[in-house]
């Protein structure tokens, strides 16, 4: 163990009491989040940099807390504008701590992360964008990212989480009128890892947001989405979660701006051994009357071992069939991630 590891509650100082209170909210009650504060980590402190890396191929950004690597292809793309808080005085003059919200644990990122990056999608992009979040051993990394999709633009984004210790992220997706975001998420955590993810998703009028989640449990994962649907918007949330004999906690909050929108939710959970998957909805008001929601679990402990793969395939097929990309360029990474997830 490194000598400069410190308990996270010591690092948080005056914010510790607020976050300790946040961790006992009903939506986190099943996740044992309170145990996190006594753990010791190496925490990035004022170590901020964004590097354009010409060795990265395709449209990819790698985020390790305050350190951001972005491919030259992405940085130079004519329809992607990159704005970094270290380079933009207007962003730098704002107080990032003002966006911290004690009721949402992952907003701890606004207290720790010194490097906020915004990507504006201002025109068509003919291949998927990959966002890779990663942490090293004995570290707690936090990040803040914003994706703003211009009106009438269709974009595909693939999130990859690879944590060796503790990883926390806040990603803000803003879908302007009549835009479309097809988002896919793959967790590739190691067994001892902790991951906390928050997506703030603003879906403006007539916009469409589709999210396919491929979750794999580690020591603990809290994957939280807060979605704000606009008028005539469409929300689809599809997921396959493999407990991998560990824990995965999914929280979905819906806070509509307008009552007239479409909502579909279909999640399939595979559990076995000591594995645990939980789902917690946080809905403001009521969902539209024509909404479709489905949550199913497959306990492999009730099925003979020789039938596991066949049963898993039949159980997940409605979601797996949807896991495709519209683009044909730069898609190998996506299908490789999908194949790895299906190796139960």
At 151 the three-state DSSP class reads coil
Residue 153: C-alpha distances to residues 29, 70, 180, 208 (Å): 39, 22, 6, 10
DSSP state of 39: -
Length of the chain equals 344
d(CA 48, CA 86): 8
Q: What's residue 92's pLDDT?
A: 44
Max distance between CA atoms of the chain, in angstroms, equals 61
Q: Which residues of the chain have pLDDT under 50?
A: 91-92
| Bridge partner residues of 148 (DSSP) | 120, 174
Q: What's residue 281's pLDDT?
A: 94
d(CA 37, CA 328): 44
Q: What's residue 45's pLDDT?
A: 66
Q: What's residue 89's pLDDT?
A: 52
d(CA 228, CA 201): 6
pLDDT per residue over 213-233, tens digit each?
Answer: 999 989 899 999 999 999 999
d(CA 185, CA 160): 6
Q: What's residue 87's pLDDT?
A: 55
Query: Is 294 buried (19+), middle (13-18) or exposed (0-12) by CB count in 10 A?
Result: exposed
Q: What's residue 323's pLDDT?
A: 96
């Amino acid at each position: 163990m490194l000598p400069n590891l410190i308990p996270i509650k010591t690092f948080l100082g005056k914010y510790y009491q607020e976050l300790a209170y946040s961790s006992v909210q009903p939506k986190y009650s099943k996740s044992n989040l309170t145990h996190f504060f006594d753990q010791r980590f190496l925490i990035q402190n004022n170590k901020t940099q964004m590097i354009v890396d010409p060795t990265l191929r395709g449209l990819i950004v790698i985020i390790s807390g305050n350190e951001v690597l972005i491919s030259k292809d992405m940085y130079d793309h004519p329809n992607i504008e990159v704005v970094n808080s270290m380079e933009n005085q207007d962003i730098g003059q704002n107080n990032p701590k003002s966006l911290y919200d004690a009721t949402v644990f992952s907003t701890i990122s606004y207290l720790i992360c010194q490097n906020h990056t915004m990507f504006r999608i201002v025109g068509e992009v003919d291949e998927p964008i990959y966002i890779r979040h990663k942490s090293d051993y004995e570290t707690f990394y936090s990040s803040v990212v914003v994706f703003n999709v211009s009106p009438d633009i269709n974009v595909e984004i693939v999130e990859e989480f690879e944590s060796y210790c503790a990883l926390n992220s806040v990603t803000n997706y803003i879908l302007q009128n009549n835009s479309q975001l097809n988002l896919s998420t793959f967790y590739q955590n190691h067994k001892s890892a902790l991951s906390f993810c928050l997506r703030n998703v603003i879906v403006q009028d007539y916009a469409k947001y589709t999210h396919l989640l491929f979750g794999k449990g580690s020591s603990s994962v809290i994957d939280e989405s807060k979605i704000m649907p606009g008028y005539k918007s469409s929300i689809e949330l599809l997921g396959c979660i493999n407990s991998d004999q560990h824990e995965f906690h999914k929280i979905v909050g819906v806070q509509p701006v307008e009552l007239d929108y479409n909502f579909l939710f279909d999640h399939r959970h595979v559990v076995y051994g000591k594995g645990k998957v939980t789902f917690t909805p946080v809905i403001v008001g009521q969902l539209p009357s024509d909404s479709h929601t489905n949550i199913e679990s497959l306990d492999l402990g009730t099925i003979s071992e020789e039938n596991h793969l066949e049963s898993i395939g039949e159980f997940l097929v409605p979601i797996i069939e949807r896991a495709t990309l519209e683009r044909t360029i730069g898609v190998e990474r996506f299908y490789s991630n999908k194949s790895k997830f299906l190796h139960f």
